[in-house]
Amino acid sequence: MTVHFDFASQEFFRDPPAGLKKLQAAGPVIEAKFPIVGRVWMATTQEMASRVLKDGRVFTLRKDDGTVAGLRWWMPRIFRVFANNMLNMDEPDHARLRGLVDEAFRRRAVLDMEPRVRAIADELASELFAQGSPADLVARYARMLPLSVICELLGLPLADRPKFIAWAGRATGVSSTLGFFRLAPTITAMRRYLGEHLDRVRREGGEGLIAELVRVEKEGARLTRDEMIAMVFLLLLAGHETTTHLISGSVFELARNPALRDWLEQDWSRADLAIEEFLRFVCPVQFSKPRFVRQDTELGGVRLKRGDQVMAMLAAANMDPTANVAPEKLDLTRRPNHHIAFGTGIHFCLGYQLARLEGKCALQALYTRWPELALAVKPAEIRWRSRPGLRAIVSLPVIHPAG
Ligand code: HEM
């Protein structure tokens, strides 16, 4: 039986635990209709979601003929270029592509970035009200921090950030078939931009991860041109569109709970644990990418057939009462915290350490500069993007009494 549920409704985004309780009551694996993906199974418990993400023999991103789960035959060819990224690959291609950039996201490399991330956060925090109060925390802070960091890491000009913001907004705003076709000119513009940038680096050299990838490309055989474009596109998009919503979602929760905000401000060594809880509770990426079922199998008491599609519903898995006690409660001291906000298995988020660092620096810089930061509107007036998949606050007007 197909479960009817609006994964993009304001009601759901406003109070996920309530909606998720209903879904979980329908079973650990439920069938639903999802925009663009179509009919799909969803794993709603942590155990089932983890199985989908970890068992690469049964659940894969591609079919034998190379078809990518979630990509449809009617999508314009240009989309296929961008789909040539590690997140759409099974082994061995996935390991080959991830291996090229793994080093840049290792713990050491990310720790080295900390002073720079802090400096960017401090600067953005001090400019929050530069154009007046209230200020939109999403546009002026939550988005600019991760975007600036990933641009520097990749070696893309900071001056082009407005372009990336516009593209990312359009690319992640699509929720219908028609929307996909409207997106084609944006995708073409992005491809042209990235193609030209890469050509310039190939000719003249450059800074950052893109320059390193160009060197790898010149050694030959490890990375095709389309894969290079797809890699940069994935890192740029995944590198900021997700963390933006972690930051804005966390600030929203702290604004609704000033006692928690004050508690955090008393001792910033509490921030590491707090960020884990925000990851679980806000869960910016609500679903994994869809996987194909490669062979008939049983999952959570349901028979899945070869060719079916299945997604791990990360938001539901993070609210699974068998994984965490009282999951509906935001508990910034929760330990251990069993969440899968970064996924699990071979596609476990490449940028998890960077995202944690950015989240921590973002909160500390913001509240150190503006300790009594508050919402300029009632919490009930805050809206989320009406699109399933990302839990993304549209705008978050904030004020500061001493601003
Ligand atoms: C709060 C922030 C973030 C969240 C919640 C998040 C979440 C996720 C999730 C759930 C996946 C797995 C998807 C699946 O298996 O279908 C993933 C993969 C990935 N993420 Fe993140 N992410 C975040 C930040 C970042 C950042 C900062 C980067 C930096 C570049 C990044 C890069 C990637 C990449 C490249 C993959 C694909 C990995 C692979 O296929 O092996 N993410 N992320």
- Give pLDDT tens digits for 97-118: 999 999 999 999 999 999 999 9
Which of 316, 318, 390, 320 is closest to 32 using CA atoms? 316
C-alpha 228/C-alpha 239 separation (Å) is: 16
Q: Whose C-alpha lies nearest to ligand 1, atom 37?
A: 87
Q: How confident is the model at residue 72, as a pLDDT?
A: 66
For a substitution probing ligand 1, which of 97, 242, 280 has the most ligand atoms within 8 Å of its CB?
242
Token output for 247 = 């930051």
Residues of the chain with pLDDT below 70 are: 72-78, 172-178, 221, 403
- Is any ligand 1 atom within 6 A of the Cβ of residue 350? yes
pLDDT tens digit string along 288-341? 999 999 999 999 999 999 999 999 999 999 999 999 999 999 999 999 999 999
Q: What are phi and psi of 82, to 5 degrees?
A: -70, -20
**Per DSSP, what are the bridge partners of residue 384?**
393
Largest CA distance in the chain: 62
Q: What share of the chain is helix, strand, coil (3-state, %, to 5)?
A: 55, 10, 35
**Per DSSP, what are the bridge partners of residue 399?**
374
Token output for 36 = 């663009």
Q: How confident is the model at residue 225, as a pLDDT?
A: 85
Which of 337, 363, 387 is closest to 37 using CA atoms? 387
- Is any ligand 1 atom within 6 A of the Cβ of residue 234? yes
Question: Residue 215: which residues within 8 A CB-CB, separation 6 or more?
Answer: none
Q: How confident is the model at residue 220, as a pLDDT?
A: 74
Q: Whose C-alpha lies nearest to ligand 1, atom 27?
A: 239
- Is any ligand 1 atom within 6 A of the Cβ of residue 89? no
3-state secondary structure at position 357: helix
Q: How confident is the model at residue 90, as a pLDDT?
A: 95
Q: What are phi and psi of 390, to 5 degrees?
A: -115, 140
Question: Residue 302: which residues within 8 A CB-CB, separation 6 or more?
Answer: 27, 29, 31, 41
Q: How confident is the model at residue 182, as a pLDDT?
A: 75
Q: How confident is the model at residue 74, as a pLDDT?
A: 61
